[in-house]
């Protein structure tokens, strides 16, 4: 209860209310009731209120949730600065962000809902590589069947140049917010990642493609079959997960291919007899992804499928979506903020920008190299590739590598 200003006023040990509001982009909502805040605004307020306190130890539980990549990097930098003089503990599923802000990491493995094992602390690079490899050498324990693999170069352009869907310049005006999307096309079998700040029209664009809302101008092929997983999932279905999924597609649920490629990696069999309304956020997300992929469609639209998922579930979800698109020859468009997730799932990239909350501009799809360069140049961060795992790692701002890559215009594949 109460307004944002009142909560911030309670904790002014390390910064003033005005400083906190400016740092965390809360100036526009400073006198708004906390109950009226969006998920991203509430998260930034929570982090701000914690950082404003003077304490010996600080705990942050999933500080990246609901934040776009711009806000994630800003929060990570502030937590990193805090850790120079204070003890800080962070629980985080965005591995690129964790790699950027942590010094040491405890890998946790186990069985969901049954047990968890905290391993000894390792230097952050080693810990994340061990986690992705799925093998703990000192303990001689393997907790992942196969290692998670990254490539240090962008995916080859698909030899299939046939477009599944083309769209003209699209425009949608809501009065206070206007979206302009430049002409583009999605090829058959292509998975397009969609990136950009919050409130720049990514979800609006996907809703236009899904037929949820109409563009004010611009042509779109309306004959395509579309499967759509929205950003916000409501557990309104009055029945079990089994009832929900079988009602979506009995044939796919009985298919051995679907069971192997989707149900098993997303661990759906453990949820089949649960009531949908009793599912946790992560369970509901996995079910929603499954329900989307179970539909017979030409193009699959998934809005923030990594939300609420832990690191392992994100890896499994990304690989599942990618495999389904490749093996079925269908196309996908994925909105997300997790860079590892996008790296694993995407063949190409659409980039959104503009003035958040007022005017959004969508461009692309571009090939991965150009798309990442455009996007990360706006964020003002560069990534290098780990020599061992080839995973992307955020460079320290203004480091030698950061300056060199910016000079070459190579923000991601360097």
User: Each residue of 209-235: pLDDT tens digit?
Assistant: 999 999 999 988 768 899 999 998 888
Mean pLDDT, range 317-333, rounded to an integer: 93
**pLDDT tens digit sequence for 250-265:** 999 999 999 999 999 9
Please tell me which residue, 112 or 104, carries the higher pLDDT value.
Answer: 104
Lowest mean pLDDT of 143-152, 167-176, 183-192, 326-335, name the range. Answer: 143-152
Predicted pLDDT of residue 255: 94
Let me know: does 276 contact 237? Beta carbons within 8 Å: yes
**pLDDT tens digit sequence for 16-30:** 999 999 999 999 999
160 pLDDT band, cuts 50/70/90, is low
d(CA 53, CA 300): 45
**pLDDT tens digit sequence for 366-387:** 999 999 999 999 999 999 999 9
Mean pLDDT, range 384-399, rounded to an integer: 92
CATH architecture type of domain 4-142: 3-Layer(aba) Sandwich (3.40)
414 pLDDT band, cuts 50/70/90, is low
Cα dihedral 255/256/258/263 (nearest 10): 120
- Tell whether the model's pLDDT for residue 239 goes beyond 70: yes
State whether CATH 3.40.50.300 applies to domain 163-379. Answer: yes
Let me know: does 340 contact 346? Beta carbons within 8 Å: no
**pLDDT tens digit sequence for 254-296:** 999 999 999 999 999 999 999 999 999 999 999 999 999 999 9
Mean pLDDT rounded to a whole number for the chain: 93
- Tell whether the model's pLDDT for residue 74 goes beyond 70: yes
- Tell whether the model's pLDDT for residue 313 goes beyond 70: yes
Identify which of 130, 135, 201, 211 has the alpha carbon closest to the alpha carbon of residue 171. 201
DSSP E strands in 78-198: the ranges are 87-91, 104-111, 115-123, 135-136, 141-142, 163-167, 170-173, 178-181, 184-187, 191-195
CA 240 to chain centre: 27
**What percent of the chain lies above the pLDDT cut of 90?**
86
Domain boundaries, the chain: 4-142, 163-379
Largest CA distance in the chain: 61
Residue 172 CB neighbours (<10 A): 21
DSSP string, 40-66: HHHHHHHHHHHHTS--SEEEEESTTTT
- Tell whether the model's pLDDT for residue 83 goes beyond 90: yes
What are the angstrom distances between the C-alpha of 89 and each of 13, 72, 338? Answer: 20, 16, 21
Predicted pLDDT of residue 351: 98
Domains 4-142 and 163-379 share a fold: yes
Predicted pLDDT of residue 158: 56
d(CA 206, CA 49): 34
Instruction: Indicate the pTM of the whole model.
Output: 0.91
**pLDDT tens digit sequence for 30-57:** 999 999 999 999 999 999 999 999 999 9
């Amino acid at each position: 209860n109460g307004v944002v200003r009142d909560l911030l006023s309670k904790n002014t040990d390390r910064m003033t209310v005005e400083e906190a509001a400016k740092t965390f982009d809360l100036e526009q909502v400073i006198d708004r009731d906390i109950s009226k805040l969006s998920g991203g605004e509430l998260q930034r307020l929570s982090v701000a209120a914690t950082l404003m306190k003077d304490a010996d130890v600080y705990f942050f539980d999933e500080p990246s949730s609901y934040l776009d990549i711009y806000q994630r990097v800003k929060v990570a930098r502030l937590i990193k600065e805090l850790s120079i003089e204070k003890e800080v503990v962070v629980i985080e599923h965005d591995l690129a962000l964790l790699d950027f802000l942590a010094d040491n990491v405890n890998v946790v493995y186990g069985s969901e809902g049954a047990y968890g094992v905290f391993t000894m602390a390792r230097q952050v690079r080693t810990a994340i590589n061990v986690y992705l490899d799925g093998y703990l050498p000192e303990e001689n324990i393997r907790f992942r069947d196969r290692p998670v693999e990254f490539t240090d170069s962008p995916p080859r352009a698909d030899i299939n140049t046939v477009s599944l869907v083309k769209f003209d310049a699209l425009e949608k005006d809501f009065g206070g917010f206007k979206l302009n999307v430049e002409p583009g096309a999605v090829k058959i079998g292509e998975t397009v990642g969609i990136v950009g700040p919050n409130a720049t029209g990514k979800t609006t664009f996907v809703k236009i493609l899904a037929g949820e809302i109409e563009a004010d101008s611009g042509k779109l092929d309306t004959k395509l079959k579309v499967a759509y997983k929205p950003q916000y999932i409501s557990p309104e279905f009055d029945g079990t997960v089994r009832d929900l999924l079988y009602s979506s597609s009995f044939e796919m649920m009985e298919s051995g291919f679907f069971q192997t490629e989707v149900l098993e990696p997303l661990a759906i069999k453990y949820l089949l007899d649960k009531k949908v309304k009793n599912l946790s956020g992560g369970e509901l997300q996995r079910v929603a992804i499954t329900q989307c992929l179970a539909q017979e469609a030409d193009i699959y639209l998934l809005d923030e499928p990594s939300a609420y998922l832990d690191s392992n579930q994100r890896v499994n979800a990304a690989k599942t979506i990618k495999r389904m698109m490749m093996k079925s020859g269908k196309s996908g468009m994925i909105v997300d903020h997790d860079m590892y997730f996008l790296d694993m799932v995407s063949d190409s990239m659409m980039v959104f920008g503009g003035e958040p909350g007022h005017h959004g501009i969508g461009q692309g799809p571009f090939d991965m190299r150009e798309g990442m360069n455009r996007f990360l140049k706006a964020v003002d961060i560069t990534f290098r590739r780990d020599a061992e795992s080839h995973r992307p790692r955020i460079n320290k701002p203004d480091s030698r590598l950061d300056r060199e890559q910016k000079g070459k215009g190579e923000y991601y594949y360097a």
